[in-house]
Amino acid sequence: MPINKKINRLLQYRSVLLRLQDLGFGTVFSYTLGKEVGVTAEQVRKDFSKFGIKGNKKGGYNINELIHTLGDIFHKDHLHKVILIGIGNIGTAILNYKGFRENMIEIVAGFDIDPVKYKKKYTVPVYPMEKIDEVINEYGVKTAIIAVPGIAAQEVCNRLTNAGINSILNISPAVLKVPPGVIIQNIQIGNALESLIYQTINLDE
Amino acid sequence: MPINKKINRLLQYRSVLLRLQDLGFGTVFSYTLGKEVGVTAEQVRKDFSKFGIKGNKKGGYNINELIHTLGDIFHKDHLHKVILIGIGNIGTAILNYKGFRENMIEIVAGFDIDPVKYKKKYTVPVYPMEKIDEVINEYGVKTAIIAVPGIAAQEVCNRLTNAGINSILNISPAVLKVPPGVIIQNIQIGNALESLIYQTINLDE
DNA sequence: TAGATTGTTAATCGATTAACAATC
DNA sequence: TAGATTGTTAATCGATTAACAATC
């Protein structure tokens, strides 16, 4: 149930490594990698150790190998198909985000209740809600992003889980109830901002 | 450095309590509140205990009192002023989000490099980047939201910290470096989605 | 009263950090 | 070689869970 911090760190290592690779570096030390991500070198080595990732004593880690191994762990050998419900401002931002494809994630379709959206030109087709089941079956989609207003989120969520979706990224402010077995991850900007403001006020802690 | 889970839970309790209050409930048990938020009753009581919040043996917690106490903890007696940099799709979604005002957060101004945005009618004025320092000083703003593309985020971040901002909500995909003392909270949708997909693939764990 | 619920102390669990041997 | 870095084991820390007395 607790969102796996280790997984998040590994993903961050990977994204830093891709940047370092781009810059032409061949190897990296745990210390450097940790500094980039904001964790200690021990943390980096420990994380790698858990996944059987080996470096070279004194020589650090080979960046190409490391990216390859992390790619295996995250199954970056094929595209992961995702659907997006709600093509409002946030939904559109997500549709336009280039970073997904680079990381082997593909949004295969968008859905919205507003017919205007079906005609507009997006990078992927946008359909009415009624077509959700069809698309899920056709593409074998397992993961969905909910970007509708809070008030509509639970209904959309039910529809998705009924259609066989087993993991949901919820970007609406609603707290969603899902059947057992369905994984849900919430991104609540309002909550994050309130938490940040609290920390700002109580800087001493 | 680790984002305070306890604070996040307290904020979630508060939001559930506001809903329950709206529905006309007068009291709530730790068990009920926990269920709504997805934690155990013990967790709820422990969290409350840490902040000196008292309930009634057998009678549960008085919702009005609880909301009031949580309001004190989070300083909900006055508006918290925030600025928003980047009025693209995500930025516009944030500008339009009604939930901030309800929770005593006010976005006092937006900023963008695109002059078209200055003329458009938003709920708050949108200015060129050059006006950031002026607005920060005028309103005494301490917290900023960065919603610009990843490539521009670090530069914006530097500008903000130089201008005296001490906490940043970063919604860009960039990993930002900030001077010591500045609190940064990242919301990375791409990362969250990758993490979710990993969990979906490895459902056994 | 009996049963239900709170509030707190103790036990457990997991994650992070420290220490250090291995070795390139 | 000496110094630097990895990889792992042990120690610490903090958060969660369990247990249970208090009591309404």
Which candidate from B93, B187, B192 shows the least CB-CB separation from A89? B93
% of residues, chain A, pLDDT over 90: 90
pLDDT, tens digit, for every residue of B72-94?
Answer: 999 999 999 999 999 999 999 99
Instruction: Tally C-beta pairs within 8 A across A and B.
Output: 164
pLDDT of residue A30: 97
- Model confidence at A182, pLDDT cuts 50, 70, 90, reads very high
3-state helix, strand, coil in chain B (%, to 5): 50, 15, 35
B15–A175 CB contact, under 8 Å: yes
- Model confidence at A203, pLDDT cuts 50, 70, 90, reads confident
pLDDT of residue B205: 58
Cβ contact A3 with chain D strand, < 7 A: no
B175–A15 CB contact, under 8 Å: yes
Query: Could you tell me the distance in Å between the CA of residue A97 and the C1' of nucleotide D4?
Result: 42
Give the residue-averaged pLDDT of A146-158.
97
pLDDT of residue B175: 87
pLDDT of residue B2: 42
Q: Which residues 115-174 in chain B show a CB within 8 A of chain A? A: 142-143, 145, 150, 166-169, 171, 173
Task: Tell me whether strands B27-28 and B61-62 are parallel, antiparallel or unpaired.
Answer: antiparallel
Which bases in strand D are touched by protein, i.e. have an atom under 7 Å from a CB? 3-9, 15-19, 22-24
Range of lowest pLDDT (A108-117, A172-181, B84-93)? A172-181
Which bases in strand C are touched by protein, i.e. have an atom under 7 Å from a CB? 3-9, 15-19, 22-24
- Model confidence at A2, pLDDT cuts 50, 70, 90, reads very low
Q: What is the length of chain B?
A: 205
B166–A203 CB contact, under 8 Å: yes
pLDDT, tens digit, for every residue of A30-44?
Answer: 999 999 999 999 999
pLDDT of residue A196: 96
pLDDT of residue A106: 98
B contacts of A92 (beta carbons < 8 Å):
89
pLDDT of residue B203: 77
pLDDT of residue B1: 35
A195–B3 CB contact, under 8 Å: yes
- Model confidence at A153, pLDDT cuts 50, 70, 90, reads very high
Q: Tell me the torsion sign for CA atoms B115, A147, B99, B6.
A: negative
Give the residue-averaged pLDDT of A161-172.
96
Does residue A172 sit in helix, strand or coil? Answer: coil
B199–A94 CB contact, under 8 Å: no
- Model confidence at A175, pLDDT cuts 50, 70, 90, reads confident
A111, two tokens: 């859905």
Give the residue-averaged pLDDT of A77-98.
95
Q: How many angstroms away from the CA of B40 is the closest CA of chain A?
A: 13
- Nucleotide nearest the Cα atom of A58 (by C1'): D5
- Model confidence at A1, pLDDT cuts 50, 70, 90, reads very low
pLDDT of residue A202: 87
Residue A3 in this model has a pLDDT that exceeds 60:
no
Q: How many angstroms away from the CA of A17 is the closest CA of chain B?
A: 13
What distance in Å separates the CA atoms of residue B92 and residue A89, rounded to the nearest whole number?
7
Q: Which residues of chain B have pLDDT under 50?
A: 1-2
Instruction: Please give the torsion angle defined by the CA atoms of residues A122, A124, A128 and A132, in that order, rounded to the nearest 10 degrees.
Output: -160
pLDDT of residue B204: 62
What distance in Å separates the CA atoms of residue B109 and residue A198, rounded to the nearest whole number?
21
